[in-house]
Amino acid sequence: MSSATRPIKPKKKIYKRWVIYIVLALIYVWALSGVPVEGFKETAGQISKAILSGIFSPDWDYVYLPEGEDLLRGLLDTLAIAILGTFISAFLCIPFAFWAANNMSRIKANAGIGKFFLSFVRTFPELVMALLFIKVVGPGSFAGVLALGLHSIGMLGKLFSEEVENIDLGPSEALKATGARPLQILWFAVFPQVLPGFISYTLYRFEINLRSASVLGIIGAGGIGTPLIFAMQSRDWSRVGIILLGIIVMVTIVDIISGYLRKKIV
């Protein structure tokens, strides 16, 4: 009796599962075969110890130096790069967002091209963009600003276009019925609906950009990354420690403020 009511396991799924296992196993065999296992450097333990002791005894004097090139100024620079880069992209991505939104263009292919363009920008790494901008405007914070500003268009444009796709078309139709021009429709019916979402996504992207800005200096695009890579190359681990600490504290504080603002807006 009891065996009759028991459901039979679907056979197809078991077969499918084994295929997945085999594919996974093959991927791992391939991946592991390519890794050179020449063992660790014998100095690895020593260096890790030096790094750990450096990180736990940070170089507090570096926080503020009167003659410049200190932690606070580096962090301020990083913050400025992130703010300016985010703002540039938030402005530049608005036309792209409307381009990529399905409900804003009559031809569906048009929005598809916009979406593809945005995903193309998204996959273009910001560090490579920064490398190219360094060749254009020279090394320094400005190259970092431009790289972040262009790279963030990809993600912000996508998020913004999803926000545009979700709007209620009622107000736009009502305005159209009263004879409003397209620009007026945009300003009075579309913008008020999408603005909170836009601001919230911009803040979210700002959090991401702050993290990116702190590494841009590694390739010479300004911010705290430059002194960090110098300290690493000269094996000044207590300075590396204080810079890491500074980055962690700054990112955490900005995350908390930005999270609070985002909760208030939405």
Partner 1 sequence: MNQLNEQKLPKAPSRIKHYLTFILILFLLWGSAYQTGSTFNELIEGFPNMFSVLDEMIPPNWAYFDNIIQAMLDTIRMAVLGTTIGAVIAIPFALFSASNMMKSTWIFYPVRFILNLVRTIPELLLAAIFVAIFGLGPLPGIFALGIFSTGIIAKLTYEAIEGIDKGPLESMTAVGANKIQWITFSVVPQVAAYYVSYVLYSFEINIRAAAILGLVGAGGIGEYYDRTLGFLEYDKVSTIIIFTLVVVLIIDYISTKLRENLL
Residue 10's alpha-carbon distances to 3, 7, 15, in angstroms, are 16, 9, 9
Q: What is the DSSP string of 106-150?
A: SSHHHHHHHHHHHHHHHHS-HHHHHHHHHHHH-SSHHHHHHHHHH
Residues 124-183 that bind partner 1 (CB under 8 A): 124-125, 127-128, 131-132, 135-138, 140-142, 144-146
Residues 39-68 that bind partner 1 (CB under 8 A): 40-41, 44, 47-48, 51
State both tokens at 104: 């804003």
Question: In angstroms, how far is the first alpha carbon of the chain from the final one?
Answer: 56
- Asked if residues 133 and 67 have their Cβ atoms less than 8 Å apart, the reply is no
What 3-state class would DSSP assign to 105?
Answer: coil
Shortest CA distance to 241 belongs to which of 53, 45, 48, 47? Answer: 53
Q: Going residue by residue from 101 to 120, which x/- string records binding to partner 1, judged by CB under 8 A?
A: ------------------xx
Residues 193-252 that bind partner 1 (CB under 8 A): 211-212, 214-215, 218-219, 222, 225, 228-229, 232, 235, 240, 244, 247-248, 251-252
Nearer to partner 1, 63 or 127 (CB): 127
Contacting positions for partner 1 (CB under 8 A): 27-28, 30-32, 34-36, 40-41, 44, 47-48, 51, 76-77, 79-81, 83-84, 87, 119-120, 123-125, 127-128, 131-132, 135-138, 140-142, 144-146, 211-212, 214-215, 218-219, 222, 225, 228-229, 232, 235, 240, 244, 247-248, 251-252, 255
